[in-house]
Amino acid sequence: MIKFEEKTYDYSIAELISKITNKTLVVHPEWQRNFVWGLKEKQLLIDSIIRGIPIPAVYFAKTISKKGIEYVYSVIDGQQRLRTIEDFINKGFSIKYEGLKTTWNNLPEEEIQRFLDYRIHVHLIPNPEKTDISILFERLNKSSTRLRKMELWNCAYYDSELFRLLKEIEDSSSNVLFRVVYSQNAIKRMDLRFDIADFVNCLMAQRVLKGNRIDKDVEGFIKSACNSINDIDKKNIKAKISMASGTILGIFPDKQLQGTIFQDRLTFGCLFIAVLLLTDKYYMLHKIHDLSYQLLMLELDIHEKDRSLIVGKITEKIKKYSIKLDDKRLFDEDIRIELWKRSDHICGICKEGIDSFDNSVVDHIMPHSQGGKTIIGNAQLAHKTCNFKKGSQSLQKIQGQLFS
């Protein structure tokens, strides 16, 4: 049960800014949503403070620091207001003051002092449970800027293994595609994180979730997978998400990825899921110039409620330009023995000798991921290290990169 301290505290803006600076007040803890206010909302708040108009109270979780020396406060509700105040003081935006565009530094000194002396009511919850924070966060925010479902789920499950994975994928600097497709506002409001959860759900289920059940399916997946996902799952998921992103960037010329073609989340999501589910099954040829995104989407009914039909149509289209991968991924041990017996023990990649059988592996001459068959005619001995470095690149590329 949530328990508040009996007293409501009044802190001046100067005191709150000092706590933020000294890191005894955490404005953006992990359970919080991102900053979503626009300029008009920010300017209205600052104008209210300057005019002395009371603003709503804020809510802090109150805990003892790890060293047991002082209290540390974390914002449960009030992040948008406090970050706006901090941004204004740091000259992040201007306001209209007496009819003129004015920044913090240009305010009269007496106005600056009144601003810093302005007091904000603070409700404290001492040592709250995680469920207390989640309940209070949801109730307080239902009457303000409407919370997206992912923002609520993030508050409830931010410290789970699944949400660490979702955030890692979202923040990955290598995932150029998501930065092209999603606006900054969509990222702030966690639309991207929701879609990543949807993609991961489809990947793990190996099926397409129907359009009218996405929210329920994603919520059910989050609740079941939050603490059951393991390191192997996470590694595979990150690799396949990255591969699907790179494949889409490869299939469609750069000019097709710019502008507005991906702004419909439904059609982009269908394309991404189609490619994601084909990963490890087909090698999708790059730069298919006669398969443009626009032409592909013109053939689809984007108003179709059952998105599995859209994904199916995209899948069949892409398959026409793809090579089906061999169902067998790994060579049998007897092939390695046969190659060792009949060869001079030369690595097929670096062309240097292999000193022992234990240091050898069987390598696909044409990588499996690019359609190479797992047969002795496509097999060569290689050093373990050379095979690892080669990965799924073609032999021609790797020789130029590693041994030139």
Measure the CA–CA gap between 89 and 21, rounded to whole angstroms.
12
Under the banding of pLDDT at 50, 70 and 90, the label for residue 44 is very high
Q: What is the pLDDT of residue 260?
A: 42
Q: What is the pLDDT of residue 394?
A: 47
Q: Which residue has the higher pLDDT, 128 or 91?
A: 91
Residue 143 reports pLDDT greater than 70: no
Q: What is the pLDDT of residue 128?
A: 77
Q: What is the pLDDT of residue 255?
A: 57
Q: At what angle do helices 191-205 and 149-157 cross, to 10 degrees?
A: 70
Q: What is the pLDDT of residue 296?
A: 61
Radius of gyration of the chain (CA): 28
Q: What is the pLDDT of residue 237?
A: 94
pLDDT tens digits along 54-73: 888 888 888 876 665 567 88
Report the percentage of the chain scoring pLDDT > 70.
82
The token pair that represents 98 in the structure block: 């007496």
Under the banding of pLDDT at 50, 70 and 90, the label for residue 7 is low
Measured CA angle at 374 (ends 370, 376), to 5 deg = 125
Q: What is the pLDDT of residue 396?
A: 38
Q: What is the pLDDT of residue 256?
A: 57
Report the percentage of the chain scoring pLDDT > 90.
28
Q: What is the pLDDT of residue 290?
A: 53
Across the chain, mean pLDDT equals 81
Residue corresponding to tokens 């206010």: 37
Measure the CA–CA gap between 151 and 260, rounded to whole angstroms.
26
The β-bridge partners of 61 are 74, 125
Under the banding of pLDDT at 50, 70 and 90, the label for residue 146 is low
Residue 76 reports pLDDT greater than 70: yes
Say if strands 119-126 and 58-64 run parallel, antiparallel, or are unpaired. parallel
Q: Which domains does the chain have, with CATH numbers?
A: 9-145 (no CATH), 161-324 (no CATH), 333-402 (1.10.30.50)
pLDDT tens digits along 206-234: 988 765 678 888 989 998 998 889 998 99
Q: What is the pLDDT of residue 293?
A: 58
Asked whether the whole model's pTM tops 0.75, one would answer no
